A and B are shown apart, each in its own frame.
Chain A
Amino acid sequence: MLKIYKDQNLVDRMHQGEDYVVELIYKKYRAPFLKWAIKNHDLGTEEAKNILQESIITLYINVTDKKLVNLKSSLFTYLCGIGKNKIREERRAESKNVYYSDNWMLLHVEDVDTLEELQEKERMFMQVEWALKEVGERCKKMIDLFYFNKKSLKEISGVMGYSNENSAKTAKLKCVNRIKSILATSTKM
């Protein structure tokens, strides 16, 4: 019971947008997860590490998407469930001899039909990634909280110290426009 409470605490902190919790979970579950993956799924150590890293990121996404709010089992069991699906996906891709990309896990591959579409999507994402580095730390944080952590403008105004929701909305709009502007410039180039 105590263990689940602690795990729930980690989930709650992820929900608050504490990225650091991802590293905490990695350190906490690294050894048992690697043991589980190597023993039960016949993975090599490096392969098991990759699966763990990807599984933790998926866990974080599930929390931000509110697919996971209250834990019904231990976090480790939940993580192993994600890991099992990842291993299955990788094996399926290997058996079909499908080439995606080094960052295929990061892309929404279900939305694309061809390799060309995938490459185009990756190219565009990399431009957004580059634009985010250009807009400054505060703007990036605002954009991350809104699009990745799915925070409402009201919540963002509280976290980032804006006087009200409208101020946060204006600030967010400015940030998005700056990104669009950077993207437009890079497309012309």
Chain B
Amino acid sequence: MNIEQGNNEREIADGVIYAKKKELLSNLKKVEEDLSSKQKTKVLFLRGAAIAASIGLLVWGYWYLNTKTWEEQLVAEHLNFYEVVSSTRGPGGENSMLLVEALNFYNDGKWKRAQTAFQQLYEQSQAAEYLLYQGVCALKSGEPLTAITLLEEFTDHVEEFPILKDGAAWYLALSYLQSKQVEKSKLILNAELKNSNEFSKEVEALLRQIEDRTTN
């Protein structure tokens, strides 16, 4: 083997190593491409699944929030028939500015804030009328159990407010209905019907609707 042949062999050896490294590197690049594309597919799939789940959740939430039970539907239908809270009333001993504020909140449909203001008025005056007003606010803000507590507390004082007696019974019946205590609601409504109160026709209609729902 002469010098030229030796050099040639060395060059071939180096060239073989170069070619092999290049081939291995190219294989690793392909492996990397595969791994990256699989990861991208996985990310896209997860992103798609997350979007689908979000849409599903939104649809379910919309459906859930907009699907009322028949009891809630009946309450919503009859809730505004009778208005017990009146700006003309003011039992006395309370902060008149706070009363105006409470009535403004009530008239604006800000039930929670109105309830808080009526609670403060009750604490100041101890006038049971404000228990009734708080109860109505609680029912209108979707808290029938709180409404029941407040309205039942008011009924202990109802003899002091005969003019509010039927109204209190009406709201208590609606509160029971909203909280799915249908029998208790019917009991109150039937008692009101016997007493032939000022809104007998509305009571009769509500009772009939409850019967329709419970007998079918």
- B partners with A: yes
| Docked pose: A183 CA to B19 CA in angstroms | 15
Q: Which of B23-31, B73-81, B110-118, B158-166 contacts A (4 or more CB under 8 A)?
A: B23-31
B residues in contact with A129, CB < 8 Å: 15, 18-19, 22
A54 at the interface (CB under 8 A from B): yes
B residues in contact with A147, CB < 8 Å: 12-13, 16-17
Q: Which of A22-30, A71-79, A91-99 contacts B (4 or more CB under 8 A)?
A: A22-30
* Contacts A23-B27, A106-B25, A180-B8 given; does A125 touch B14 at CB 8 Å: yes
B residues in contact with A124, CB < 8 Å: 11, 15
Interface size class of chain A, counting residues whose CB lies under 8 Å from the partner chain? 20 to 34
* Contacts A27-B35, A53-B32, A132-B16 given; does A106 touch B11 at CB 8 Å: no
A19 touches B24 (CB 8 A): yes
Cβ contact of A148, chosen from B17, B27, B28, B29, cutoff 8 A: B17
B68 at the interface (CB under 8 A from A): no
A13 at the interface (CB under 8 A from B): no
A159 at the interface (CB under 8 A from B): no
B12 touches A106 (CB 8 A): no
Distance of B203 from chain A, by nearest CB (Å): 72
B18 touches A26 (CB 8 A): no
A60 at the interface (CB under 8 A from B): yes
Distance of B38 from chain A, by nearest CB (Å): 11
How would you classify the secondary structure of chain A's contact residues: helix, strand, loop or mixed?
helix
Which A residues between 18 and 56 are near B, CB-CB below 8 angstroms?
A: 19, 22-23, 26-27, 30, 49, 53-54, 56
B residues in contact with A27, CB < 8 Å: 31, 35
* Contacts A128-B15, A147-B16 given; does A26 touch B28 at CB 8 Å: yes
B22 touches A53 (CB 8 A): no
Which B residues between 19 and 64 are near A, CB-CB below 8 angstroms?
A: 19-22, 24-25, 27-29, 31-32, 35
A125 touches B24 (CB 8 A): no
Distance of B27 from chain A, by nearest CB (Å): 6
Interface residues, chain A, with chain B CB atoms under 8 Å away: 19, 22-23, 26-27, 30, 49, 53-54, 56-57, 60-61, 103, 105-108, 121, 124-125, 127-129, 131-132, 143-144, 147-148, 176, 179-180, 183
Interface residues, chain B, with chain A CB atoms under 8 Å away: 8-9, 11-22, 24-25, 27-29, 31-32, 35
The 8 nearest A-B residue pairs measured at CB: A128-B15, A129-B19, A125-B18, A147-B16, A53-B28, A148-B20, A125-B15, A147-B13
- A-B contacts besides A26-B31, A143-B12, A176-B12, 19 pairs, CB < 8 Å: A22-B27, A27-B35, A49-B32, A53-B29, A53-B32, A57-B21, A57-B25, A61-B17, A61-B21, A103-B18, A103-B22, A106-B21, A106-B25, A108-B14, A121-B14, A128-B12, A129-B15, A144-B16, A179-B12
CB<8 Å pairs between A and B, sample of 5? A53-B28, A128-B12, A128-B15, A128-B19, A132-B15
